[in-house]
Structure 1
């Protein structure tokens, strides 16, 4: 967190005082720079104690690391990318993103699986290296595992002041994906829940080489895979992207699947697959298509296109303190904002990585990723193009609900129809709004919002 990406696709440097390791029953996870309730820290010390479920915890952490190293689309070797870890007090959340940007993984180690002391709340990166992965693969049995996340004995330099520095490629699409997935999944509901034996049977029956999207339809105690969307179905785009769950099935207690409402003939959409483990949850969120990363989905564009919620987001963000579950009603009361404005502010915070979304609890949680809202906005070419159109005076409203946008391709007509916006450009024709708004819609919204702000200021 102390370091930052300096250019598109540039390497981000993580500095650790020593490598993470597993030695004598102590799993020591070294921390890089992070943000805590008391401010930035170079090597925060979050937790020391026991993981009461050693084998599933080690297997799940290894699965999380495997996602970060995997390119599911057009596979090729990639370097390690260190997971993001947040201590929310009663739980540890560990997050990673696949190298191709199409799979988001999270391991929630909950209070029943932790027995120790929380020293601080906050977010950091933790070192995951080759020798640690090999050691995690050998953990078995039911004995508890000692865990230190940034323990003091790890957070000191050696006598000669030596440190461990890792530089890893951190593509811009990885950063954009982290923001997109939180906004997308916030609208999901639980669609199916399978008990342990049924979950194992279903997971082991899935096709391995299927790349096209399938649809999982609840059927009695299990899920049935069909080739076409149907009401109540959940999209499964690339079953092979769930393969990191396979080694965890021996610990599984349940499988839960989340997704949006599906109608007959719907296009592929994202989905959330949650494996319940003893005292833990291992969660995978899949993009709508095997070849499609989250970075291009455009779900965040509406939230970051105008300044309408920016001030509210700053206020709400100042009230957050790494809560495991953000309560909008309480935040609204503390901030003096309406509930609607508070929820809009949380969405804005999600676009900058300051909150994540937990489908299991249908709630946001506070964490801090190593980038800010301005950087996310700069990484979106559609938003940059839309702002350029506004600055050039290429947008004009011919009626309250109709705008004309002049571009190199000619005039584009944008219509606002209640909660739906349409455009006459090829992008909208191809995607019908399913991959976020086009630059013309964004430009019209920016101009409309600026006008509303000016009217409000004049009153």
Structure 2
């Protein structure tokens, strides 16, 4: 399913005489203004923005003509976060401009699209380390009230899998832990050895001060699925002080999984999260299905949503006290909100942050074919409490609420979330009083 994303800007973003103005579209207002002030590290910020823009216009699997989905920016209480997703839905990029990186005023909170056009990208590429830069995210009030030229409008295809991918990436990364940290010299040596065209699934194993790349998983390893997809992060090496890598726990028998690769300095963090395999977009990973299928979590999410603030990190314990829910239910509610783009997850701080993408939990559920099919099975009476599910002319058996005799389970073995039959059985069982 594909809809159209319409971007309407009061003008084109531009960098002129040290003034970087990023035009905005949508969010809390038609053209919100979030920030005005100076950047502590102009060249590094410019390089990070270019990386986010490169991911937005790239398709890493079966490359086609680039179609850029504009990055989004979220203004929190003390930082700016720029996010994008690749056209193939397999790479998620984020640049965090931390408090040490900005000297100015965040005048409003929220999430909006930003115009990072080709002329602006060329200008950003010329920013030198000694060049001062003033940043304005959004037009100033004078521009809003007096602008009488043509509004810059663009429409691009917006696949529902792109929106689902945003949600899946947040849920998957919430299960990550730090796995390795390298000094920038070791990080440079590691990343420069990686070929831009490498699409193989490899594993990075800690070896002294660096990581050794191997073809087999093992305890302590981090999956490196398609090393060529890290190309966008390499120019930031000259501004970074360290590389940190995040991922789930790995065993000798693990299959490919997602991972996050983050370059940082005290003012900025630039990260790329890679899907488990180059041909797999995040949209089909199924990490959000259980959260979307839980009615209790949906009710809790509505309550938690009303309590969210724009602090850098969402405090689960404080939300538990304010809502009267236990911490586990708060986390489930945040997972629900993550599926709706209402929160993102920061692996560096191991916590959620508030942001608002333009869709809802209900919308996310409707965009997921497996979940829609599961609800249809449950509501039609095709799924029973004992795990027997009639689907078309076939009958399948769900065991332990997870494994199933269907072809989907036989192929993926739970690696891409539950099948529609297991989801349907869980829905039916959830309706039975304890």
TM-score, normalization by structure 2: 0.97
SS in 2 for 1:192: strand
Match of 2:101 among 113, 138, 150: 113
The corresponding residue for 2:426 is 445
Distance in 2 between the 1:121 and 1:350 partners? 18
Alignment of 1:56-135 (within 5 A): 56-135=44-123
SS in 1 for 2:15: strand
Alignment of 1:155-304 (within 5 A): 155-156=143-144, 159-160=147-148, 162-304=150-292
The corresponding residue for 1:423 is 404
Match of 1:412 among 384, 389, 396: 396
Distance in 1 between the 2:141 and 2:191 partners? 41
Q: Offset at 1:338?
A: 1.2
Contact 1:395–1:406 (8 Å) recurs in 2: yes
Q: Offset at 1:451?
A: 2.0
The corresponding residue for 1:385 is 373
Cα 1:157/1:135, change in 2 over 3 Å: farther
For structure 2, which runs of at least 5 residues remain unmatched after alignment? none
The corresponding residue for 1:28 is 21
Distance in 2 between the 1:442 and 1:172 partners? 21
SS in 2 for 1:396: coil
The corresponding residue for 1:341 is 329
The corresponding residue for 2:413 is 432
SS in 2 for 1:124: strand
Q: Offset at 1:151?
A: 3.7
CA RMSD of aligned residues (A): 1.3
What do residues 199-231 of structure 1 show as CA deviations (whole Å, max 9, x unaligned)? Answer: 111111223332120000000000000001111
The corresponding residue for 1:142 is 130
Q: Offset at 1:112?
A: 0.4
SS in 2 for 1:176: helix
Contact 2:35–2:104 (8 Å) recurs in 1: yes
Q: Offset at 1:323?
A: 2.1
Asked if 1:327 corresponds to 2:311, the answer is: no
What do residues 374-399 of structure 1 show as CA deviations (whole Å, max 9, x unaligned)? Answer: 1111111111111111122111123x
The corresponding residue for 1:360 is 348
Distance in 2 between the 1:207 and 1:349 partners? 37
Distance in 1 between the 2:319 and 2:141 partners? 37
Q: Offset at 1:341?
A: 1.1
Distance in 2 between the 1:124 and 1:351 partners? 18
Distance in 2 between the 1:236 and 1:162 partners? 46
Distance in 1 between the 2:180 and 2:87 partners? 28
Distance in 1 between the 2:104 and 2:270 partners? 21
Distance in 1 between the 2:327 and 2:233 partners? 38
Q: Which moved more, 1:144-153 or 1:95-104?
A: 144-153
The corresponding residue for 2:2 is 9
Q: How many residues align?
A: 434
Cα 1:115/1:447, change in 2 over 3 Å: same
Alignment of 1:49-60 (within 5 A): 49-60=37-48
Structure 1 runs of 4+ with >4 Å offset: none
Contact 1:46–1:151 (8 Å) recurs in 2: no
The corresponding residue for 1:5 is none
Q: Offset at 1:356?
A: 0.3
Q: Offset at 1:144?
A: 2.7
Contact 1:18–1:154 (8 Å) recurs in 2: no
SS in 2 for 1:45: coil
For structure 1, which runs of at least 5 residues remain unmatched after alignment? 1-7, 36-40
What do residues 135-178 of structure 1 show as CA deviations (whole Å, max 9, x unaligned)? Answer: 11111122331000014157516553631111112111100000
Contact 1:51–1:146 (8 Å) recurs in 2: yes
Distance in 2 between the 1:364 and 1:350 partners? 9
Contact 1:230–1:263 (8 Å) recurs in 2: yes
Cα 1:388/1:187, change in 2 over 3 Å: same
Contact 1:83–1:96 (8 Å) recurs in 2: yes
The corresponding residue for 1:394 is 382
Distance in 1 between the 2:117 and 2:194 partners? 31
